[in-house]
Amino acid sequence: MTANLSLTLDGRYNGPGGPGDFAAFAPYVTSEVARDHMNRIWESATTALLGRINAEGFMGYWPAVAEDGNADPRDRGYAKWLVDTEKVVLSTTLTEAPWERTRVVNAPAADVVTDLKATGEGDILVNSSASIIKPLLAADLLDRLYLMIFPEIAGGGQRLFDDGLSASTWMLTHQQSGELGEIAMVYDRVR
Buried b (16+ CB within 10 A) or exposed e, 62-88: bbebbeeeeeeebbbbbbbbbbebbbb
- 3 state SS of 53: helix
pLDDT tens, position by position, 140-178: 999 999 999 999 999 999 999 989 999 999 999 999 999
CB-facing half-sphere around the CA of 80: CA atoms within 13 A: 12
pLDDT tens, position by position, 59-82: 899 999 999 999 999 999 999 999
Contact present, 168 and 15 (Cβ < 8 Å)? no
